[in-house]
Amino acid sequence: MGACYRNGWQKLWKYILELLLITIISFLIYLPIYAFSVARKGGIGAIFFIILALPYVILLAWPIEYGVSFAYLKAARGDNLKVKDMFDVFQNWLNAILANLLVAVIVGIGVVFLIVPGIIFACKLAFVPYLVVEGKMEAIEAVKASWEMTRGYAGRIFLIGLLAIPISIAGLLCFGVGIIVANMWIGLASASLYHAVVMTKETSENVPIG
């Protein structure tokens, strides 16, 4: 866990401009969702919100999150990161949508069962975005692959997420602007763990992942 955050911190400053632009674009994509939320509170109604906001989230916002995760992965590996990499998700867009929905259902079912199973499921499925975008896997295939790849690593994924809480709080305390740096750092740490797992499995099995 410590190594993942150290690598994330180093890569954060190496790719700070690219990551900042990716963050800004991602924020702008999510901006209409905030507008839909305000409109809903203003009395336009739940039906209007569902008709406009839900398709926007499922068809665009969620896939973009997968694309951002892929960009973080490239940065974590020290690859030549470009802002346009966040849009590579559209090369496997349909499976990104299906994978998002499938993960949401699985984690949601887990949350219903006393929350803890939901946390476990979320940790087991943490690698799905990378597998869908980089590995061009189908949704079900990516879920199965993530479940298998995280065997023995779910605890570390949980700890990375747990440490993200104080990091995010510290970011908010830094005049609010620090939360941007905090989120990028957390994303890079998570991507670093995925990269480490892939490298470990390729070394032990001599078989490329994805």
Q: Say if CB 123 and CB 193 are below 8 A apart.
A: no
- Per-residue confidence at 176, pLDDT binned at 50, 70, 90? confident
Q: Where would I find the H helices in 16-83?
A: 16-39, 46-56, 62-77
Amino acid at 67: G
Residue 206 CA to residue 200 CA, distance in Å, equals 9
Flag the least confident range among 52-56, 122-126, 179-183. Answer: 52-56
Q: What is the mean pLDDT of residues 189-195?
A: 97
Under 8 Å between Cβ of 36 and 52: yes
> Which region among 1-15, 35-49, 68-82, 97-111 has the lowest average model confidence (pLDDT)?
35-49
How do the domains of the chain map onto residue ranges?
A: 2-205
pLDDT at 48 (0 to 100): 62
What is the Cα–Cα distance from 1 to 159, expressed in whole angstroms? 7
Instruction: Please state, in angstroms and as integers, the Cα–Cα distance from residue 28 to each residue in 35, 53, 56, 195, 205, following that order.
Output: 11, 15, 13, 28, 42
Whether this model's pTM surpasses 0.85 = yes
